[in-house]
Amino acid sequence: MDWARLKEGDQAAFERIYSTHVKLLVLYGLKITDDHALVQDSIQDLFIEIWRNRRNLSHTTHPKYYLFRALRNKLSRSHPKQSYVSEGELLLASGDLQVDYVELDIMAREAEAQHRQTLRQMLNGLPRRQQEAIYLRFYNNIAYEKIAEMMGMNYQSVLNLMQRALKTLRKAYSNRTSRS
Protein backbone atom coordinates (compact mmCIF):
# COMPACT_ATOMS: atom_id res chain seq x y z
CA MET A 1 0.00 0.00 0.00
CA ASP A 2 2.77 2.38 0.99
CA TRP A 3 4.60 1.35 -2.13
CA ALA A 4 1.73 2.58 -4.30
CA ARG A 5 1.60 5.82 -2.32
CA LEU A 6 5.32 6.27 -2.74
CA LYS A 7 4.89 5.98 -6.51
CA GLU A 8 2.44 8.86 -6.29
CA GLY A 9 4.98 11.02 -4.46
CA ASP A 10 3.88 10.52 -0.85
CA GLN A 11 7.02 11.21 1.15
CA ALA A 12 5.48 10.00 4.42
CA ALA A 13 4.82 6.61 2.82
CA PHE A 14 8.39 6.62 1.53
CA GLU A 15 9.73 7.22 5.01
CA ARG A 16 7.53 4.50 6.44
CA ILE A 17 9.03 2.05 3.97
CA TYR A 18 12.44 3.25 5.07
CA SER A 19 11.69 2.83 8.78
CA THR A 20 10.20 -0.63 8.35
CA HIS A 21 13.14 -1.99 6.41
CA VAL A 22 16.24 -0.06 7.35
CA LYS A 23 17.46 -2.29 10.20
CA LEU A 24 16.85 -5.43 8.18
CA LEU A 25 18.80 -3.86 5.33
CA VAL A 26 21.76 -2.88 7.52
CA LEU A 27 21.96 -6.43 8.84
CA TYR A 28 21.63 -7.82 5.36
CA GLY A 29 24.37 -5.56 4.05
CA LEU A 30 26.67 -6.66 6.85
CA LYS A 31 26.22 -10.26 5.75
CA ILE A 32 27.66 -9.25 2.41
CA THR A 33 30.48 -6.95 3.48
CA ASP A 34 32.12 -5.88 6.74
CA ASP A 35 32.39 -2.32 5.52
CA HIS A 36 29.84 -0.54 7.73
CA ALA A 37 30.27 2.80 5.99
CA LEU A 38 29.71 1.23 2.61
CA VAL A 39 26.53 -0.44 3.83
CA GLN A 40 25.14 2.81 5.22
CA ASP A 41 26.04 4.81 2.14
CA SER A 42 24.57 2.20 -0.15
CA ILE A 43 21.31 2.14 1.75
CA GLN A 44 21.09 5.93 1.70
CA ASP A 45 21.86 6.03 -2.02
CA LEU A 46 19.36 3.29 -2.65
CA PHE A 47 16.53 5.21 -0.99
CA ILE A 48 17.49 8.45 -2.72
CA GLU A 49 17.41 6.67 -6.06
CA ILE A 50 14.08 5.05 -5.25
CA TRP A 51 12.61 8.46 -4.49
CA ARG A 52 13.98 9.99 -7.67
CA ASN A 53 12.78 7.14 -9.85
CA ARG A 54 9.55 6.57 -7.98
CA ARG A 55 7.37 7.10 -11.06
CA ASN A 56 9.10 4.30 -12.91
CA LEU A 57 9.08 1.78 -10.07
CA SER A 58 7.33 -1.45 -10.84
CA HIS A 59 4.49 -2.49 -8.60
CA THR A 60 5.37 -4.90 -5.79
CA THR A 61 3.54 -6.36 -2.83
CA HIS A 62 6.88 -7.28 -1.23
CA PRO A 63 9.07 -4.19 -1.04
CA LYS A 64 11.47 -6.23 1.07
CA TYR A 65 12.50 -8.45 -1.85
CA TYR A 66 12.96 -5.42 -4.04
CA LEU A 67 15.05 -3.61 -1.43
CA PHE A 68 17.20 -6.61 -0.55
CA ARG A 69 17.92 -7.30 -4.17
CA ALA A 70 18.70 -3.69 -4.97
CA LEU A 71 21.04 -3.37 -1.98
CA ARG A 72 22.80 -6.55 -2.96
CA ASN A 73 23.34 -5.26 -6.51
CA LYS A 74 24.67 -2.00 -5.20
CA LEU A 75 27.11 -3.63 -2.82
CA SER A 76 28.42 -6.02 -5.42
CA ARG A 77 28.88 -3.18 -7.88
CA SER A 78 30.89 -1.10 -5.43
CA HIS A 79 33.11 -4.07 -4.66
CA PRO A 80 34.20 -5.10 -8.13
CA LYS A 81 37.13 -7.06 -6.75
CA GLN A 82 34.82 -9.65 -5.33
CA SER A 83 31.97 -10.65 -7.52
CA TYR A 84 29.27 -11.79 -5.18
CA VAL A 85 27.22 -13.35 -7.89
CA SER A 86 29.87 -15.76 -9.01
CA GLU A 87 31.62 -16.51 -5.74
CA GLY A 88 29.22 -19.27 -4.80
CA GLU A 89 29.31 -20.88 -8.19
CA LEU A 90 33.07 -20.73 -8.02
CA LEU A 91 33.13 -22.62 -4.74
CA LEU A 92 30.70 -25.14 -6.11
CA ALA A 93 32.85 -25.64 -9.17
CA SER A 94 35.79 -26.44 -6.93
CA GLY A 95 33.86 -29.26 -5.35
CA ASP A 96 33.12 -27.50 -2.06
CA LEU A 97 36.65 -28.19 -0.97
CA GLN A 98 37.39 -24.67 0.19
CA VAL A 99 34.23 -24.43 2.16
CA ASP A 100 34.93 -27.67 3.93
CA TYR A 101 38.32 -26.38 4.95
CA VAL A 102 36.72 -23.31 6.40
CA GLU A 103 34.33 -25.48 8.36
CA LEU A 104 37.02 -27.80 9.60
CA ASP A 105 38.92 -24.78 10.72
CA ILE A 106 35.92 -23.40 12.56
CA MET A 107 35.32 -26.72 14.25
CA ALA A 108 38.93 -27.05 15.28
CA ARG A 109 38.95 -23.60 16.77
CA GLU A 110 35.72 -24.39 18.48
CA ALA A 111 37.15 -27.50 20.11
CA GLU A 112 40.15 -25.52 21.28
CA ALA A 113 37.95 -23.01 22.98
CA GLN A 114 36.51 -25.90 24.97
CA HIS A 115 32.95 -25.46 23.89
CA ARG A 116 33.02 -21.83 24.88
CA GLN A 117 31.89 -20.74 21.42
CA THR A 118 28.49 -19.27 21.33
CA LEU A 119 26.06 -19.67 18.51
CA ARG A 120 26.61 -16.01 17.71
CA GLN A 121 30.30 -16.54 17.18
CA MET A 122 29.61 -19.59 15.07
CA LEU A 123 27.19 -17.63 12.93
CA ASN A 124 29.74 -14.89 12.45
CA GLY A 125 32.39 -17.43 11.61
CA LEU A 126 30.42 -18.93 8.75
CA PRO A 127 31.34 -18.09 5.18
CA ARG A 128 29.47 -14.98 4.09
CA ARG A 129 27.15 -16.63 1.67
CA GLN A 130 26.05 -19.13 4.27
CA GLN A 131 25.32 -16.25 6.65
CA GLU A 132 23.38 -14.51 3.94
CA ALA A 133 21.24 -17.54 3.12
CA ILE A 134 20.52 -18.17 6.81
CA TYR A 135 19.53 -14.59 7.34
CA LEU A 136 17.15 -14.61 4.39
CA ARG A 137 15.57 -17.97 5.16
CA PHE A 138 15.40 -18.09 8.97
CA TYR A 139 15.03 -14.45 9.81
CA ASN A 140 13.08 -13.09 6.88
CA ASN A 141 11.04 -16.18 6.00
CA ILE A 142 11.98 -16.00 2.33
CA ALA A 143 11.55 -19.27 0.42
CA TYR A 144 14.65 -21.08 -0.82
CA GLU A 145 13.56 -20.66 -4.45
CA LYS A 146 13.44 -16.91 -3.98
CA ILE A 147 16.80 -16.89 -2.19
CA ALA A 148 18.33 -18.76 -5.10
CA GLU A 149 17.02 -16.04 -7.38
CA MET A 150 18.29 -13.25 -5.16
CA MET A 151 21.74 -14.75 -4.73
CA GLY A 152 22.07 -15.72 -8.37
CA MET A 153 22.46 -19.40 -7.65
CA ASN A 154 20.45 -22.42 -8.56
CA TYR A 155 18.05 -23.92 -6.09
CA GLN A 156 20.07 -27.04 -5.32
CA SER A 157 23.21 -24.99 -4.66
CA VAL A 158 21.33 -22.94 -2.08
CA LEU A 159 20.22 -26.11 -0.32
CA ASN A 160 23.79 -27.42 -0.34
CA LEU A 161 25.01 -24.14 1.06
CA MET A 162 22.46 -24.28 3.85
CA GLN A 163 23.24 -27.88 4.63
CA ARG A 164 26.87 -27.01 5.23
CA ALA A 165 25.92 -24.09 7.42
CA LEU A 166 23.56 -26.22 9.48
CA LYS A 167 26.20 -28.85 9.99
CA THR A 168 28.50 -26.29 11.56
CA LEU A 169 25.87 -24.53 13.60
CA ARG A 170 24.24 -27.55 15.08
CA LYS A 171 27.49 -28.43 16.69
CA ALA A 172 27.58 -25.09 18.47
CA TYR A 173 23.98 -25.45 19.41
CA SER A 174 24.26 -28.92 20.90
CA ASN A 175 27.31 -27.89 22.90
CA ARG A 176 25.39 -24.99 24.22
CA THR A 177 22.27 -26.90 25.20
CA SER A 178 24.15 -29.81 26.70
CA ARG A 179 26.03 -27.41 28.94
CA SER A 180 22.94 -26.00 30.58
Q: Which residues bind another protein (CB under 8 A)?
A: 15, 18-19, 22-24, 26-27, 36-37, 40-41, 43-45, 47-48, 51-52, 119-120, 123, 134-135, 137-139, 141, 143-145, 159, 162-163, 166-167, 169-170, 173, 177
Smallest distance from the beta carbon of 100 to another protein, in angstroms? 16
Residue type (1 letter), 109? R
Closest CB 93 distance from another protein, rounded Å: 22
Nearer to another protein, 45 or 87 (CB): 45
Indicate the residue among 37 and 93 with the shorter CB distance to another protein.
Answer: 37
Backbone φ, ψ for residue 34 (5° rounding): -85, -5
Q: Provide, rounded to whole angstroms, the least separation between the CB of residue 36 and another protein.
A: 4
Q: How far is the CB of 116 from another protein (least distance, A)?
A: 14
How far apart are alpha carbons 177 and 180 in whole angstroms? Answer: 5
Using alpha carbons, list the distances in angstroms from residue 47 to 52, 55, 71, 124, 142. Answer: 9, 14, 10, 28, 22
- Rounded to whole angstroms, the Cα distance separating 101 from 26 reads 29
Give the residue from 177, 77, 52, 69 showing the smallest Cα distance to 119.
Answer: 177
Nearer of residues 101 and 139 to another protein, judged by Cβ: 139
